[in-house]
Structure 1
């Protein structure tokens, strides 16, 4: 990876957070990363695509679920980023000495090296795409809520499968609606539905 590409990628907050999160999880998938770094799914996939091009991550499949994990090179970069993070988290000796001398004096807070978050373009959806996306969001929220409650209650795998199984039909209905649509449905909507399907399948398998 060239110095220029590295600078563009890791002097931004979200790519750095994404790589560190992938390293901490060992193996995860795009929608989870998207939530962790507070980014849209589309923006997250663009970040991951750049990381894959740089040889930092690789994608693997288990059934129909697409996972992402660090390569050996990615783990080396992760270690370097952690070291850098720890260094800048420490106060310079000069500041520590000044603080020890200025007891009771309110100091001005500052943050070094923090840059403005990368703006994300919000694409305007056509009415049908917006309607289906809202349905997908509600369905995903319901699936996550039921799974969370089931885990908290200590339900067995079979019980969780019985509770979540019917939602496969709801996903299929939305897929059919997209296929029958007279005009093309926005990619954001299809990606969101695919991620919801992958999430449900993971819940049903684990």
Structure 2
């Protein structure tokens, strides 16, 4: 894998939204893809990177792979949730 810096990941909306979505609890990859409006393969790519950064971990539930936040991931997701909430309240001046 080529080297990617965390700030390059989280300055994009969808990876950030994916992390915040996992605050609702563990989800399988298909559920995450639909929640964030990403393709399945793009979702896996982002999840693998988040796993390498120690922000999520995977669990096998039968044949289904489930992603859940680590403590570090929960802390970062909470911070992003606050920022996204504040940004959504900004009004554009015309």
Q: Which residue of 1 aligns with 2:41?
A: 42
Q: CA deviation at 1:45?
A: 0.4
Which deviations, in whole Å up to 9, do the C-alpha atoms of 1:136-181 show, x marking residues without a partner?
A: xxxxxxxxxxxxxxxxxxxxxxxxxxxxxxxxxxxxxxxxxxxxxx
Is the radius of gyration larger for structure 1 or structure 2? 1
Larger strand share, 1 or 2: 2
More helix by share: 1
Residue 88 of structure 1 corresponds to 87
Give the superposition deviation at 1:47: 0.5
Unaligned runs of 5+ in 2: none
Q: What's the TM-score, normalizing by structure 2?
A: 0.85
Q: Helix, strand or coil: the match of 2:54?
A: coil
**Structure 2 counterparts to residues 51-66 of structure 1, below 5 A:** 51-66=50-65
In structure 2, the CA distance between the partners of 1:34 and 1:87, relative to structure 1 (3 Å rule), is same
Using CA pairs below 8 Å that are at least 6 residues apart, which structure has the higher relative contact order? Answer: 2
RMSD: 1.9
Number of paired residues?
A: 91
Matches within 5 A, 1:117-156: none
- Displacement of 1:82 in angstroms is 1.3
TM-score by length of 1: 0.41
Task: Point out where structure 1 has 5 or more consecutive residues left out of the alignment.
Answer: 96-106, 109-206
